[in-house]
Structure 1
């Protein structure tokens, strides 16, 4: 049986040490094929050898100290029980939604578990209560330098500190217990050890103080209580910030309405159905102001549709009969009826969301050595804390101060900022790119995009529009040009040849009626006009030879393929010649200029003839161009460039580009191209705007830059703060506040990426 995939919410994930511990537990289970834990989304992504193993996996996870929101299947299709995934939680009022996972292609409807609480939602009341209980312990210390003695009695200090320590701080003891049980360390262990030492020392001094001696000066209840309060506050602020980082992805999910208006037959008419009940092939309707529920093709109607939030297309697009619709787009001014081309699970919007989630889950290359450091970080900190305790104790003889210094080391070293540095930036950067029609498929793209030197472009369908258009025409009879063109369009209306599309694009609404349509294989088409019973032909120069005609002496010279219109009755004569040419895309010149201005070297690789390729290259200003290239030749070109030590990206759209896209250090595919090209590329431009090649590289570089900034802060903070705490320059209270601030700072730095837009990136590139 094939592997089945689950994406399940998990509570109890506090830091990267927790992630490492849970992944270690999962990898030890025999039925787990792969396991990844997402700290930001609080999810575990599993592939199991069989569906029956899920209950055992959940039991092992909970035995390790984490809680799993288990799926409850409520569907009319048995397949849904085999593969379920939970969506990220973003708001306390929303239920947990179980949806199909992304890897398998079987269409499975969504399943909803009502009433499930969001995972690890940080409530504010424990933070507020902890601060209120700690405040009476802190105030006397603040006013003491001014000559006021408001110090509470040891009993009152104990009464205020104990609920904070063992009730509001119970989560840290639970986490520490399971960490020790699994022979690992985490942030909870550091906090629990540090605050317990301060609390225990205070109780010992209080109870062992001589009669009549209050022992106020040797009580540290306020340190333990305030450290816990600051850590709780930091976790709350951190969770709030992390929730904001996922808002871009949530905004995409909210573009898809929950219901669709479906035609149920003459007796029932239009009815609203839940989107999970709508299948491909159904007849749907969307009114002005509503969002398009599923991908489809327009059957009737005409309307402007805003796809800005789906594909990044800035201007509304006219949709009419035959036009394709994207799920999530906004219908503006007309009623459209369309046939659904996909069910919910297979819609472009849902696929985009799943791809972005998978990319956010993946770890950037830099995260690999961060994980290795995090695995040994807690044991090293414990050793440093022990050395701090023994060193200060034996050197000064003041073991109370030694314990406080050791507590400060434990608290300041909590590796939250280190664990959040990479995933926070990935979630924001990749989510923001997706909102603007740029899909970064994995975290490795960030490093690849930052090292590029050469960008190689395919021509047809990438730099050009990919379909021939009529670029010139010449008439040889007295008949009106419009009439002759109308006849040519009528002859091509039933042809499947690529050149026929150019005539159909320019055809008027009313065409002459023809009969006896005939395809002349490899040459052209023929038909008879019913109005005058005349026989006409349209095609290549071979038709001229067959009809005994020659090229006129005054034939003009134009670039492109020639198509000849011949009237056979009452006698053969050439009446018109049309030139068809693949036009350069309107955005190609701007994209090339922008990339050249940013210092990239560009190359044009095409299978087209030398003259056509040279014309396109000259028009765009690309000096390095190659024609008549097979897929193997493109592949060889890239390999030779890589052997010279150059980092290369390939930009393409077709099946013939797939080998080169896979060989390149970074493949960039246009969504208007083939699925094969999109599958092997690291970046996909969902609206096909070539200018977004520069924007995609910019957001990749910006995200990588934020990751390094975060790591620099997290490592720098610990490298400076731990020695300071070990030397006695930081109190536990200051250490707790600084640790919490460090985590929030890292996430806030990642949130700066939310201001990124393609327009800002392009404007920056033009400066």
Structure 2
């Protein structure tokens, strides 16, 4: 296992042959719009995939750079489909005022209320007949027409583009429904006027439906405004991360060319620059602390509530808050390569992704609008067949069109995913893909790597037991020399012990790592090996008198390695491996690891610890962590290459398995699990293989991640239920004449708002 110097340092992604582009899209209103944009983008040559997110108003396009011209082609395809291409982060930079974009809604309310109030008063019959409260027809026409054709112009544009592409969407339903109401009202008004001019004396003007078309458009606009306001709240986590970037840095030049302190934009910082950070300021970029000591608040990045002490040599993360000391750092990463930029990218990736459950919603949406149009025609024909007049039949058909808008259906899943990924990021949990978030709630077995995941991962050399006649100091020098080029935790423990004894060591030669076993190389002309007991057994080495010592150390929970010398043979005898010393290493459980495992057990989850240690050492540590080796909760002597096979074996019994690890050798197991969870203090390879990354190495976050998944999936199901129930219950009621177009419009707007509001409740999650 390899550890980097600082948590989060491995949040990068390897280059891929395919390119990815994010594009903002304006004008989408429902799930049908999503499908039309995806279809248009996938027709562009070279595009491998296009995923559109209605809640984020973005498209993520995966394409072959040599086959596609890129952004210009994609923008043209979006515009040709009838939508507005824009910057991918446009939603992030929208006006933050709670009342932004409310002006059209306010104008609609002002024009619609004079039409609606007389109708309500007529229903209440406050001292007069119903029609007596109605405004003159010409006044109704003047109030309703601007709402229909100016405020409602967006619906006509969307409907026209949908018709051109031979598809349907919410705009088409609203435009058809309200136009029918407005047109019927004009026809009744003009017919009554013609009758009056022809000499027919009517006691009262006919009932007109201008108020229905105007109020429906106003309600839909209100619903879209509330949706936009809720979208700004769901993306608050991303905006908060963007806000962590300071605008200026106190530049001091480089080590080779120091300068007087000068304020420059952080976009001009280069790797190697020296930067001063004053007390209370945000650190402008990732860097190595050169001078000064301080406390750093990394809570917005890792969720860790307490400031961490930093001394020279420590790594600092851009975006975190400096404490009481002025410090100087050397920049190690800038721009898109910083930890903060990668965190933002991971959260955006999760929020832009499409969960598997959304595929079913897309299939339903593809046929939803055509089915609604057929139902509206059947409603019209049915009422006419039953003997109703055209006026009544048309109003019931309009109600069907209005209530069936699939806005809530398209928002149900992405809004919950955005809110879930956002609240997870604030608690130090990065969710890389929507599939992991959706699947994690079904996990029933959690497998943990031991070293660095459940333990501190910084073992120390507790004993060096030399064989008879050997010089302990010379053996320590040989071991330190052989391990001097390795980043393995056990190697660092050997080097630290040698330094504490005041020893120096010569340069090794021909050093070779043997994965899962140890390393070998030449030190001053002698070939040495240091590695596991099993490796020494495979080499035919005899522990002799040290075997009892090895058994005793293992029983105490130590990890035992062997230092052996390769002794050349003489007279045709092959070289032999002679054991010279035992190296015993001890590690400590992470604080809170035992409590975290117990909390998972109380939730009914199965627990397994996978370790490359011998059974004695692995079982001793497991008992300290509260695990039960006798119940099969410990898998010991597992080579790195075999971890994935162990995970697959756990999955074989119809179990859903989460694997938690942090090292390079954990990556195959993380990929083999249903849900891979990487510790943020581990390596970039592990994080790339995992669907979820814990930004600090706290095992308690595993339970939190599973809980967020459970709550997010619950919200998705609730949202889909409400989205479907509005239509399942509302369409028949509208067809049967129970709902008027105005009530149908209010119900349709309420369905979208309720879905958004329900998803936003996830932001109240505080964890356990």
TM-score grouping bracket, smaller chain normalisation: 0.7 to 0.9
Measured in 1, the distance between the counterparts of 2:203 and 2:325 equals 81
Match of 1:52 in 2: 69
Q: CA contact under 8 A between 2:26 and 2:57: conserved in structure 1?
A: yes
1:674 to 683, 695, 699: 683
- Give CA-to-partner distance per residue, 1:628-658, whole Å, 9 cap, x none: 1113432232222322222211111112222
Moved more, 495-504 or 740-749: 495-504
SS in structure 1 opposite 2:696?
coil
1:124 to 97, 102, 105: 102
Measured in 2, the distance between the counterparts of 1:664 and 1:5 equals 26
Match of 2:651 in 1: 642
2:159 to 168, 176, 188: 176
Using a 3 Å threshold, how does the CA distance of structure 1 residues 429 and 136 change in structure 2: closer, same or farther? Answer: same
Question: 1:309 Cα deviation (Å)?
Answer: 1.0
Query: Which runs of structure 2 are paired with 1:716-735 in the superposition (5 Å)?
Result: 716-735=725-744
SS in structure 1 opposite 2:457?
strand
Measured in 2, the distance between the counterparts of 1:449 and 1:234 equals 33
Within the alignment, does 1:260 sit opposite 2:249 as a pair?
A: yes
Match of 2:120 in 1: 142
What TM-score do the two structures reach when normalised by structure 2? 0.82
Match of 2:89 in 1: 87
Q: CA contact under 8 A between 2:177 and 2:401: conserved in structure 1?
A: yes
- Give CA-to-partner distance per residue, 1:69-105, whole Å, 9 cap, x none: 36xxxxxxxxxxxxxxx324234458xxxxxxxxxxx
- Give CA-to-partner distance per residue, 1:410-466, whole Å, 9 cap, x none: 111111111100000000001110121111111111332122221111111111122
Using a 3 Å threshold, how does the CA distance of structure 1 residues 714 and 500 change in structure 2: closer, same or farther? Answer: closer
Measured in 1, the distance between the counterparts of 2:138 and 2:748 equals 30
Match of 2:664 in 1: 655
1:66 to 66, 79, 83: 83
Match of 1:246 in 2: 235
Match of 1:6 in 2: 21
Question: 1:752 Cα deviation (Å)?
Answer: 0.6
Q: CA contact under 8 A between 1:154 and 1:214: conserved in structure 2?
A: no
Match of 1:219 in 2: 208
Q: CA contact under 8 A between 1:360 and 1:430: conserved in structure 2?
A: yes
Q: CA contact under 8 A between 2:557 and 2:619: conserved in structure 1?
A: no
Using a 3 Å threshold, how does the CA distance of structure 1 residues 215 and 681 change in structure 2: closer, same or farther? Answer: farther
- Give CA-to-partner distance per residue, 1:306-365, whole Å, 9 cap, x none: 111101112111111111112211111112222222121011111111111111121111
- Give CA-to-partner distance per residue, 1:721-764, whole Å, 9 cap, x none: 1100000000111111111111111000000110113xx3xx3x
Match of 1:229 in 2: 218
Q: CA contact under 8 A between 1:206 and 1:214: conserved in structure 2?
A: no
Match of 1:702 in 2: 711
Moved more, 183-192 or 306-315: 306-315
Question: 1:176 Cα deviation (Å)?
Answer: 0.5
Measured in 1, the distance between the counterparts of 2:292 and 2:337 equals 25
Match of 2:8 in 1: none
Question: 1:32 Cα deviation (Å)?
Answer: 2.9
Measured in 2, the distance between the counterparts of 1:455 and 1:62 equals 47
Within the alignment, does 1:277 sit opposite 2:257 as a pair?
A: no
- Give CA-to-partner distance per residue, 1:83-128, whole Å, 9 cap, x none: xxx324234458xxxxxxxxxxxxxxxxxxxxxxx9xx96111111
Match of 2:539 in 1: none
Q: CA contact under 8 A between 1:261 and 1:273: conserved in structure 2?
A: yes
Question: 1:296 Cα deviation (Å)?
Answer: 1.9
Question: 1:6 Cα deviation (Å)?
Answer: 2.5
Question: 1:9 Cα deviation (Å)?
Answer: 1.8
Match of 1:163 in 2: 146
Question: 1:229 Cα deviation (Å)?
Answer: 0.8
Question: 1:377 Cα deviation (Å)?
Answer: 0.5
Match of 1:742 in 2: 751
Match of 2:578 in 1: none
Measured in 2, the distance between the counterparts of 1:599 and 1:720 equals 38
Measured in 1, the distance between the counterparts of 2:507 and 2:186 equals 100
2:322 to 317, 327, 331: 331
Using a 3 Å threshold, how does the CA distance of structure 1 residues 93 and 584 change in structure 2: closer, same or farther? Answer: same
Using a 3 Å threshold, how does the CA distance of structure 1 residues 214 and 446 change in structure 2: closer, same or farther? Answer: farther
Question: 1:604 Cα deviation (Å)?
Answer: 1.5
Measured in 1, the distance between the counterparts of 2:456 and 2:235 equals 36
Question: 1:471 Cα deviation (Å)?
Answer: 5.4
1:197 to 180, 189, 192: 180
Using a 3 Å threshold, how does the CA distance of structure 1 residues 385 and 328 change in structure 2: closer, same or farther? Answer: same
Match of 1:349 in 2: 340
Moved more, 707-716 or 29-38: 29-38
Q: CA contact under 8 A between 1:187 and 1:416: conserved in structure 2?
A: yes
Question: 1:500 Cα deviation (Å)?
Answer: 6.6
Where structure 2 has 5 or more consecutive residues not aligned to the other structure, the ranges are 1-15, 466-471, 512-518, 525-529, 532-544, 563-581
Within the alignment, does 1:208 sit opposite 2:225 as a pair?
A: no
Match of 2:516 in 1: none
Q: CA contact under 8 A between 1:206 and 1:215: conserved in structure 2?
A: no
- Give CA-to-partner distance per residue, 1:556-610, whole Å, 9 cap, x none: 976536899xxxxxxxxxxxx9964122211221111111111011111111111
**Count of aligned residue pairs for this structure pair:** 679
Measured in 1, the distance between the counterparts of 2:522 and 2:274 equals 35
Match of 1:560 in 2: 558
Q: CA contact under 8 A between 1:151 and 1:216: conserved in structure 2?
A: no
Match of 2:305 in 1: 314
Measured in 2, the distance between the counterparts of 1:635 and 1:159 equals 72
SS in structure 1 opposite 2:451?
helix
Within the alignment, does 1:298 sit opposite 2:281 as a pair?
A: no
Measured in 1, the distance between the counterparts of 2:18 and 2:674 equals 30
Q: CA contact under 8 A between 2:641 and 2:665: conserved in structure 1?
A: no
SS in structure 1 opposite 2:371?
helix
Match of 2:9 in 1: none
Match of 2:622 in 1: 617
Measured in 2, the distance between the counterparts of 1:67 and 1:732 equals 30
Measured in 1, the distance between the counterparts of 2:19 and 2:649 equals 41
Query: Which runs of structure 2 are paired with 1:387-536 in the superposition (5 Å)?
Result: 387-469=378-460, 495=484, 498-499=489-490, 501-502=492-493
Q: CA contact under 8 A between 2:557 and 2:621: conserved in structure 1?
A: no
SS in structure 2 opposite 1:146?
coil
Measured in 1, the distance between the counterparts of 2:368 and 2:561 equals 73
Moved more, 457-466 or 28-37: 28-37
Measured in 2, the distance between the counterparts of 1:717 and 1:731 equals 15
- Give CA-to-partner distance per residue, 1:640-698, whole Å, 9 cap, x none: 23222222111111122222111111111111122211111111111111111000010
Q: CA contact under 8 A between 1:649 and 1:668: conserved in structure 2?
A: yes
Match of 1:569 in 2: none
Moved more, 296-305 or 161-170: 296-305
Where structure 1 has 5 or more consecutive residues not aligned to the other structure, the ranges are 71-85, 95-117, 475-483, 528-538, 541-549, 565-576
Q: CA contact under 8 A between 1:130 and 1:168: conserved in structure 2?
A: yes
SS in structure 2 opposite 1:448?
helix
2:597 to 592, 613, 617: 592
Q: CA contact under 8 A between 2:403 and 2:731: conserved in structure 1?
A: yes
Measured in 2, the distance between the counterparts of 1:187 and 1:457 equals 48
Moved more, 499-508 or 164-173: 499-508
Q: CA contact under 8 A between 2:676 and 2:692: conserved in structure 1?
A: yes
Measured in 1, the distance between the counterparts of 2:498 and 2:250 equals 34
Measured in 2, the distance between the counterparts of 1:442 and 1:238 equals 24
Measured in 2, the distance between the counterparts of 1:632 and 1:215 equals 88
